[in-house]
Amino acid sequence: MNNLTVAEPSIRVDSGGRMYVIAPDSAPIGCELWEVPSTLASQTFLGAPDGGLGGGDCDLAVSAKPVSGSTFPTVSYSSLSLPNITVGKSTNGGATFTTPNPLATQTLGDDRQWNAAGEGNVVYLSYHILETNNIAVSRSTDGGATYLFRGLAIDTDHIGQALYNNELGPIVVDMHSGLNPKPVYTIFTAPATLTENINTVAGSTQTANHALYLASSYDGGATWRDAPIYVGPDINTTYDHIFPSLGADSGGGLWAAWTSRNGDGTVQHVYATYAKPTNGTQTHVWSVPAQIDQTAGVAKLFPWIVGGGSARADLVWYQGTQPTNEDTSNDWTVRFAQLTRTNGGIASVQAQASDHVIHHGQICTTGVECTFGGDRTLLDFFQVAVTPDGRAAIAWADDSLSAGIGQIYVTVQCGGTSAKTGGGLKSTC
């Protein structure tokens, strides 16, 4: 994919094995979309479905199956303009989209949105409200053409510790639950107490985001209950390094992943934890976090996790060659781990997913502040999805051909074990 200055791709795979990749482009600004078969035999550039009305952040949702009257699952997109979020949908595989709707939310001033497809024509949209920094959740019942506000994911018991100091991860729907509506979840980091949050305000660069929380809704996003996933023992080892990630497997189990960073940034690790499904009234019980990365003393960033078959998940991250991500001599690659829940915790099988160094230099993780000397070419995340037969499909940003000029690369797992079934995949290597 050869457009210039493109990064932080989102990827989804539909029930027919078609992969959809969307990413913000700077020339002109907007969210650009591609369709790629899981064989990687070709690619089709589908243009900018937002018509250039946004592109600050992009995300996708793909329905589990086609809606009545269509042979394609619905593809829904969101595109951040900052004052609001532009949205639209396609029911013909991306050949055409509805007229961009530039006013998806009922709030003025939004940031970093995520999408998730629910049952039928339901699509969820989560985003930060700039004024309060709470996490808003809106719901569409027409496949992603329009949305209405439903509720706030940070509940009243946790807003004090999270106010103006939290990092939101993706929104997830447990499509395999027997509940109606399907359970909806999101993840965020924050300080563990109100006092910790207050102490980060004046004269401090420490966020104290050493706690991870699961926000759960069982009424279609209207009301939310928050509970800790993990609270780290060291306030100086933080987890808000863009972004905590969350996935749901086909058995209803939840997976969370994050990167940790100590005070001076010289110790960075990737962690994952698993929670068995609940009946909607119980609090999830999370396993002891497992360190997934196997190389000590090097930087790790941008974890993304996606559920597979029951008790299975795929996880990706960027890995450098130096202790901190700010080191300009880093050589970065894409790492992959297939995770399985075991009686003793979490087992993993790992590989390098990229066949080359994707970026040389630092990766800045302070968002818009990176414009003051930091390298933000790869922006803030990348994603992995799972094909119908259980192959990992990964889209990442890459400036290996020309430093500072981001392009989007896609790879698909060509052998090994299916994340859906646990059986061996037919080799396509």
Pairing of strands 359-360, 331-342: antiparallel
- Quote the distance between the C-alpha of residue 181 and its chain's center: 23
pLDDT per position as a tens digit, 228-272: 999 999 999 999 998 999 999 999 999 999 999 998 888 999 999
Which domains does the chain show, CATH number per domain?
A: 153-412 (2.115.10)
pLDDT per position as a tens digit, 140-191: 999 999 999 999 999 999 999 999 999 999 999 999 999 999 999 999 999 9
pLDDT per position as a tens digit, 122-150: 999 999 999 999 999 999 999 999 999 99
Q: What percent of the chain has pLDDT over 70?
A: 97
What is the C-alpha separation between 180 and 185, in angstroms, rounded? Answer: 14
Beta bridge partner(s), residue 139: 124, 148
The helix (run of H) or strand (run of E) holding residue 195 is helix 194-199
What is the C-alpha separation between 298 and 281, in angstroms, rounded? Answer: 41
CB atoms within 10 A of CB 172: 25
Q: What is the pLDDT of residue 370?
A: 79
- Whole-structure pTM value: 0.96
Average pLDDT taken over every residue of the chain = 95
